[in-house]
Amino acid sequence: MNHVLAAHAASSCHIFSGCGYPSPTIQDFYFRPLFTIGDFRFDKPMLLVLLSTLIVLVFFWAAFRKPQLVPRGVQNIGELGILFVRDQVLRPQLGKKGDSWLPFLSALFFFIWINNIFGVIPILYFPATSRFAYPAILTAMVWVLYMGIGIRKQGPLGYLKNLSVPSGAPWWILPLLAPIDFLSNVFIRPFTLSVRLWANMLAGHVLLLVFAMATWYLLTWSYELVFSAASFAVLIAITGLELLIQLLQAFIFTVLTAFYISGAYEPAH
């Protein structure tokens, strides 16, 4: 966001100065590379992803480096986060026997959440998850994981049956239902999993841009300042909404991952 805003601040494009409202475009999601090595262009989203990885690593290392029975300081916050993932995400889906998935699910949840939060952190102002490649690669990982577990635990044919035969359905309707079940479990699941996160983050970023740019565009030293102030107030409100959506999307992504893993472990009953 700040690169766009900086560009607009430099252009000093205001209402009544003869230029129209510079609405945000998809170009605001593409960045000039910070540096290039041959064909490899290192840009801001990559930097943010590396930063978020570092934050997750350092935070949990600091929290559980020397775990105390009575937690103090950063261990308190770390345990709060881990327990949230365990009790709200893992246990309802996988039960106690799924506790070995806690590190994976916690890492996934906090990685996505921190990347989402970057959308409202000053200076950074960009959720890397609003670039489709990042949710897509996370989803590819989850897809390979649950397909792999399903094939290992239930056998290729058993898992195929689990994915495409709804239990309790009469035999004569199965030829019509099984293709839908298979299609939606194998292809639409990963598609919606990635698109949900990506589209929410993209829309949120555009919404923030619209009001941030309007605040600057409407800024004039006359009574029209009211419009700019109103725009700024909406920007603050939208920021609050985005904070909620960022948490919710990270949560939903992790819940669905846990659900898919649990479906791979045992057939639906």
Residues lying near other proteins in the complex (CB under 8 A):
92-93, 166-169, 173, 176-177, 179-181, 183-184, 187-189, 192, 196, 251-252, 255-256, 259, 268-269
- Shortest separation between residue 119's beta carbon and other proteins, angstroms: 22
Token output for 250 = 């990270």
- Shortest separation between residue 187's beta carbon and other proteins, angstroms: 8
CA 99 to chain centroid: 23
- Shortest separation between residue 173's beta carbon and other proteins, angstroms: 7
- Shortest separation between residue 180's beta carbon and other proteins, angstroms: 5
User: Are 22 and 8 within 8 A, CB to CB?
Assistant: yes
Backbone region of residue 67 per phi and psi (left: phi > 0; alpha: psi in -120 to 50; beta: other values): beta
CB environment 137-149: b (16+ within 10 A), e (fewer):
ebbeebbebbbeb
- Shortest separation between residue 162's beta carbon and other proteins, angstroms: 11
Smaller CB separation from other proteins, 234 or 252: 252
Smaller CB separation from other proteins, 122 or 168: 168
User: Are 139 and 190 within 8 A, CB to CB?
Assistant: yes
Smaller CB separation from other proteins, 4 or 258: 258
Q: Tell me, letter by letter, the H, E, C secondary structure of 27-40.
A: HHHCCCCCEEECCE
Smaller CB separation from other proteins, 100 or 167: 167
Token output for 23 = 């609405």
Opening angle at CA 135, ends 131 and 137, nearest 5 = 110
- Shortest separation between residue 134's beta carbon and other proteins, angstroms: 20
User: Are 72 and 62 within 8 A, CB to CB?
Assistant: no
Say how far apart CA 222 and CA 220 lie, in whole Å: 6
Smaller CB separation from other proteins, 228 or 257: 257
Say how far apart CA 185 and CA 192 lie, in whole Å: 11
DSSP bridge pairs for 78: none
Smaller CB separation from other proteins, 53 or 192: 192
Smaller CB separation from other proteins, 78 or 190: 190
- Shortest separation between residue 141's beta carbon and other proteins, angstroms: 19
